[in-house]
Structure 1
Amino acid sequence: MFAKVIIFSGLLAISLCAPVDEPVAILAQTSDILPDGSFQSNYETADGTKVEQTGTVKQVGEEVVQTIHGSISYTDKEGNKHELTYVADENGFQPQSADLPVVPEIPLAIQKSLEYNAAHPEPMEH
């Protein structure tokens, strides 16, 4: 019995600590899907979130490829605005945003070392 009380108390504490988010109203929403596979959709919510996507179908060589262009914008709980635009096509997913991390440049000494190693490979031992 004591173990059940402890377990119940723990579950109660966890449930009381869990954040409760209120549902967010959808202010506008459209979606149009055409027979050729192209589409356009978007929505906007009361908290300022906006999502837009446009999809088209195009011929790449002998393949038919779906391409999608889109954007997402929202404001986080601290009041910071975030925006992301993207393309998804035969070249993969290509996001762009100031929020995405940027790969630092390779230091010159390491770059020279990599170039030297590529130009002078060690013989393979079997």
Structure 2
Amino acid sequence: MRILVLVAVVAVASAAPQGGRDAQILRYENENIGVDGYKFSFETSDPITRQETGELTNAGTDNEAIIVRGEYSYVGPDGKSHTVTFVADENGYRPSVKTARK
């Protein structure tokens, strides 16, 4: 299950546009909750934002899983703002995409 979540997180990261190489990190927050989960967020100057939380559920059972929830936003080559909200858990990776008008 952990491998599935890791694959989903890598897929999300690689799906986001690879903006300008000169972008600066404006904000970064990381809260390591330990074995029970994590939480992080960041914002860059190009502008890309991302926030994500991971939570361990059913610890110590056969149904132990990590539930990952998050969102990332970026301005695409079309000049529109794109926001992807997602959940990755025992039911797979489920994204929802919103695109704002120019």
TM-score (norm 2): 0.69
Alignment deviations for residues 42-99 of structure 1 (CA, whole Å, 9 cap, x no partner): 1100112101001100018622101100001000133111010000001010001146
1:105: which partner in 2?
none
1:77 alignment partner, SS class? coil
Instruction: Name the CA distance, whole Å, in 1 between partners of 2:94 and 2:21.
Output: 33
Instruction: Name the CA distance, whole Å, in 2 between partners of 1:86 and 1:22.
Output: 26
Trace 1:3-82 onto structure 2 (pairs within 5 A).
21-59=20-58, 62-82=62-82
The count of residues paired between Structure 1 and Structure 2 equals: 79
Q: Between Structure 1 and Structure 2, which shows a larger proportion of helix residues?
A: 1
Query: Which one has a bigger Cα radius of gyration?
Result: 1
Instruction: Name the CA distance, whole Å, in 2 between partners of 1:22 and 1:90.
Output: 35
Instruction: Name the CA distance, whole Å, in 1 between partners of 2:42 and 2:81.
Output: 17
Q: Between Structure 1 and Structure 2, which shows a larger proportion of strand residues?
A: 2
1:34 alignment partner, SS class? strand
1:90 matches 2:90:
yes
1:106: which partner in 2?
none
The letter of the residue matching 2:39 is Q
TM-score (norm 1): 0.57
2:64 alignment partner, SS class? strand
Instruction: Name the CA distance, whole Å, in 1 between partners of 2:70 and 2:21.
Output: 27
Q: How much identity, in percent, do the aligned residues show?
A: 25
Structure 1 gaps of 5+ residues are: 1-20, 100-126
